[in-house]
Each structure stands twice: as C-alpha cells, then as structure tokens.
Amino acid sequence: MENNNLNKHNLVKILSLIIVVVFIGLGVFLLRNQKTIEPLQLKNNLTAKTLNQTPDLEEVIRPMEGIILPVTWADLGAQLVKAGVIDVDKFKSLYEERGTFPEEYQKLLLGHNPDRLKITRANAGYLLNLFWALGLANKNSILDQGEMTDPKYGGAGGFASTGGWTMAKGDPMDHYSKHQFFTLNSDQQMLVDKVSRGIYRPCCNNSTHFPDCNHGMAMLGLLELLASQGASEQEMWQTALVVNAYWFPDTYLTIASYFKDQGFDWSELDPKEVLGVSYSSSAGSKRIVSLVSQSQGDRGGSSCGV
C-alpha cells in the first residue's frame, strides 16, 4: 500500500514537471516567433521612425539648394528661339502668367550660359520645357527611325511630346528632328541609343527611346547634350536619375523610402537599376507604391504638359 502511494506521488511529480516543461517550451516558441515576425512586417511597412525621416530623405534625393549637372547649356536657348522651336513671347507669357520669370530663366532662354547647369526644385519644370524643346527639334535617328515613326501610331505628330508642344512658331512637327544644334559621332549616338533604352518614367511604360511624352522627349534632349559634351555612360545614368528625381518627386521619394526600408541608402543604389522598368516605369513605380505604406503630399512636377 505504501509503495502504491509512493508511485502515485512520483507520477504526479512527473506529470507536473512535464506540464511545466511544455508551458516553458510554448513560451519560448512564441517569443522566438514574435521576434521573427516583426522585421518581416517592417519589410513592407515603413516604421514611424522612417516616416519621421522622410523630409531628410527628400533632401538627399533632391536637395533644396540643387545639384550641378555635368553639362553646359551655352546659348542653346537662343538657338531654339532663332529656329522657331520656342516662340519667345509665348514662352515668357506662360511663366509670367504663373507669376515667375526670374533673370535665371531669361538668361537660359536668350543669353549665354558657360557654367554647368544646376537643377533645383524651383527650376526643374523650366529645365524640363527647355530640354523638351531640344529633344523635339534636334536631328536624331531615334526620332527618325525609332518607335515614334511606327505606322501603327499614325505618325509622330499625335503624341503628347509632339502635338503637346504649343510653344513653337507654327506647327511643332515643322521642327520635329529638323535642326542640327550639335552633331553626335557614331560612338556618342550609340551611347544615347543604349542609355535611352534603359531609362523609364513613371508617367508611362515606355523608355526614353520612345519619347511619346514631354518627360521622355526632354530626357532624350538631355542625353544627346550630355553625349555631345563627352559624358561617360555612368555620368549619363547618374544625371538621368538626378533629373528624374526632380521631375517626379513623389515617385522617387517613395522609391527611396522603399530602399531605405530594405536597408539601402540612396547613394548606394545603381542608377541604371533604379531607372529601369522594375522601378521607374508606370507599372514598376505603382508596384513600389503598393509595397510602401506611406502618405505623401502632392509635390507636383509630373504633369505631361508645358
């Protein structure tokens, strides 16, 4: 009888010990899983800390003081005016109606500008229009033989980048790839062709090689000018990303936030990759937006009109 009581007592101890071990194990399991879940959730959702850093991030991708580009404008504005690509009265009136046409704009349009261009938040839209005019008018095989001339589109005149240029004297198609403001050698043209195929814009799913909107045509003009002044391929990629960040501030702030959330600084990114279809096209940028839970104010800069 005594042995039976002893056995029962030992059995109770063993069962109690098993229960304790099970609860301890369950607690450890839940704790470990909690630690694992948190960072996985943060991969797709910005933390409050990251959101608070967004103004600083914007200063990184498009500084208020601007960024100097490796290209000079010289007297191209005056040449565009002389050729009739830009009607100076229309152009100035456009900005005067908006309440701003500073001396900087006047000089870029009619003067000589030997220094390297600086893009800022304030002048990004103005430079966009100048480069749009240049890309539209400068003679280039991409315009003469590329996607813009595909018969299925009914001619190049029906695109936003052509018909939408209302700042010319006469019909904008009278200036389409008609003027030789500078000439590219074969190597420079090959470089423009190569890089233009890899640069996308958030307003559509076409590369710069198919410049059917103002941003695409402006980027083509910028690439041509860069190539004509001896820029390297890497300089062209870097410059294109800088300019796109000023032209599409909302999109590139979101892209930068996404990469920051993944642990990458903006300066570490490969411009060629960021400018590609996966991030900078309309579909690609929308995908990134869907991954980033962030509310941003409208900073403008993405309209496809003058």
DSSP for 260-292, please give it.
HHTT--GGGS-HHHHTSHHHHSHHHHHHHHHH-
Contact criterion met (CB below 8 Å) for 140 and 185:
no
Coil/strand/helix, residue 125: helix
Angstrom distance (rounded) from CA 215 to CA 281: 12
Angstrom distance (rounded) from CA 242 to CA 225: 16
| The pLDDT value given to residue 55 | 60
Mean pLDDT of 98-102: 94
Mean pLDDT of the chain: 85
List 25's β-bridge partners, or say none. none
- C-beta neighbour count of 82 within 10 angstroms: 13
| The pLDDT value given to residue 179 | 98
Q: Which of 36-45, 146-155, 190-199 has the lowest mean pLDDT?
A: 36-45
Coil/strand/helix, residue 142: helix
pLDDT tens sequence across 246-282: 999 999 999 999 999 999 999 999 999 999 999 999 9
Q: Which of 83-87, 98-102, 119-123 has the lowest mean pLDDT?
A: 98-102
Angstrom distance (rounded) from CA 98 to CA 275: 31
Mean pLDDT of 142-167: 97
- pLDDT confidence of 3, banded at 50, 70, 90? very low
Contact criterion met (CB below 8 Å) for 228 and 140:
no
Q: What residue type is 19 in one-letter code?
A: I
- pLDDT confidence of 159, banded at 50, 70, 90? very high
| The pLDDT value given to residue 63 | 98
8-state DSSP, 111: S
E-state strands within 157-293: none
E-state strands within the chain: 67-74, 113-119
Task: Pick 198 or 35 by higher pLDDT.
Answer: 198
Share of the chain above pLDDT 70, in %: 77
| The pLDDT value given to residue 84 | 99
What is the residue extent of each domain of the chain? Answer: 2-44, 55-291
Contact criterion met (CB below 8 Å) for 192 and 199:
no
